[in-house]
Structure 1
């Protein structure tokens, strides 16, 4: 088991390390190992306005997706978390289904649906598509937080005359906040890095960073893309550390 664990970790981390090392190359081609090292490709990112535009679009879409996913995911979790009914179990499976359905199949199906109802491709359709695939992350972490909530606290609040809204605001929400924050983080990352859904539901006004990186690599093997990947890796690691300190992300995913 130890050997298998080491092999799995190596397979997961090796490509990331290769990208980071290549991003510091001083040549104009993607070669490993690099012939020399330089920060010039990171400096070149300052003038890469197309990447800036795509990154900003990805951030805005991910932000709106996260907000909507949190609202819908928390509401759904409150309805199904402690319910023993068959309907609750069916709804739980329904909310998790976007994680099982192939993302490319969902992207194509969403495009066909929007075309059928006459809704043109726009940032709105992109946010809707991303929300569908991101809500399950919020639902899963929030349901896990609700499962650890002591029902005696809720019963005590009700027996003292507190309304359900007051109980939710002053007792339930503070106790499940770490789970909500963890789900929001996962939803944001899943939306920001989404390729299959964005591939079908974007237009010229919503050029997304993962798609832009893919197109640049496909067309010209620009070393700047390796630098972008390095920045994203660094920011992701930083965000993971912050989330672990704030919400105990690793515990929420168990």
Structure 2
């Protein structure tokens, strides 16, 4: 079999290596048995994975990040889906302006966004750090949900929805029983993106949190400054592996659904 060289394939390969190489370095460095984070590691040990899983240092920040991500997704997913449906199905005045408004958090620097939210919450007297973070993350994740769902709604055949209405179903029932099942893959992808974006958010959290509320990215950032040990690589490796595994399983699940 003749193998042909492709410049596009070569460039794509180099891009993948460039993206994945830092992740590989982190995972390899996590097995260093010593007290300091170095690469390449001088030996092999599960010591720091055991420390991360049993010491309890990262437990509370981890669950804080998880609950914030879940609460964020539970709100941003339905809200973003409804917004995307309205933008893709209806024509109304200032539609372009409204669409740009919902997508604006994608272009506003996160640093400025964090400062603005800090001033806003302070003026409104909102002092609950968990609520602050959830509200901030909702604003940050809704644009991703809207973009994903608009693309999915635009590819749907409206004749199926029209047939449902002609047969007597109300618009709400049609949306719930006919439209949403057809965009199930996009809903799952939007939820996954929302959870990952919320879980990984650092800059806004630095402005909006306080005593008693620490997220996992904040803990990792603090340790990078004051406690640069292989435990950082270990906890980061766990996050990388779990994220990639969940993403792979979701991709397989959605691919099987398409075949069915």
TM-score tier, shorter chain, comes to: over 0.9
**Counterpart in 1 of 2:4?**
none
Q: Return the match for 2:167 from 154, 157, 160.
A: 160
Q: Could you say which residue in structure 1 is the equivalent of 2:182?
A: 175
Residue of structure 2 aligned with 1:212, choices 210, 214, 219: 219
Tell me if the contact between 1:77 and 1:142 (Cα under 8 Å) persists in the aligned partners.
yes
Instruction: Say whether residues 1:100 and 2:104 are aligned partners.
Output: no
Alignment pair present for 1:130 and 2:145: no
Partner of 1:140: 147
Aligned length: 249
Is 127-136 or 199-208 further displaced after alignment? 199-208
Q: CA deviation at 1:90?
A: 1.7
What is the rounded CA distance, in whole Å, between the counterparts of 1:89 and 1:176 in structure 2?
A: 23
1:191 and 2:164 equivalent? no
Query: Runs of 5+ in structure 1 lacking a partner?
Result: none
1:85 Cα deviation from its structure 2 partner? 4.1
> Which deviations, in whole Å up to 9, do the C-alpha atoms of 1:9-29 show, x marking residues without a partner?
222111111100000111111
Runs of 5+ consecutive residues of structure 2 not aligned to the other structure: 1-6
Q: What's the counterpart of residue 23 of structure 1?
A: 30
**Distance in 2 between residues matched to 1:166 and 1:26, nearest whole Å:** 59
- My pick for the range that moved more, 53-62 or 37-46, is 37-46
Structure 2 vs 1, CA of residues 205 and 71 (structure 1 numbering), >3 Å: closer, same or farther?
A: farther
Query: 2:31, 2:230 within 8 Å by CA — same for their partners in 1?
Result: no
For normalisation by structure 1, the TM-score amounts to: 0.93
1:114 and 1:121 in contact (8 A); partners too: no
C-alpha displacement of 1:121: 4.4
- Does the CA contact (< 8 Å) of 1:107 and 1:201 recur in 2? yes
Cα offset, 1:50, TM superposition: 2.5
The residue that corresponds to 2:90 in the other structure is 83
Give the whole-Å Cα distance in 2 for the aligned partners of 1:246 and 1:138: 20
CA distance in 2, matches of 1:247, 1:186: 15
Q: Does the alignment pair 1:70 with 2:77?
A: yes
Length-normalised TM-score, structure 2: 0.91
What residue is the counterpart of 2:39 in the other structure? 32
Aligned equivalents of 1:246 and 1:146: distance in 2?
20
Deviation at 1:72, TM superposition (A): 1.0
Q: What is the alpha-carbon root mean square deviation over aligned residues? A: 1.6
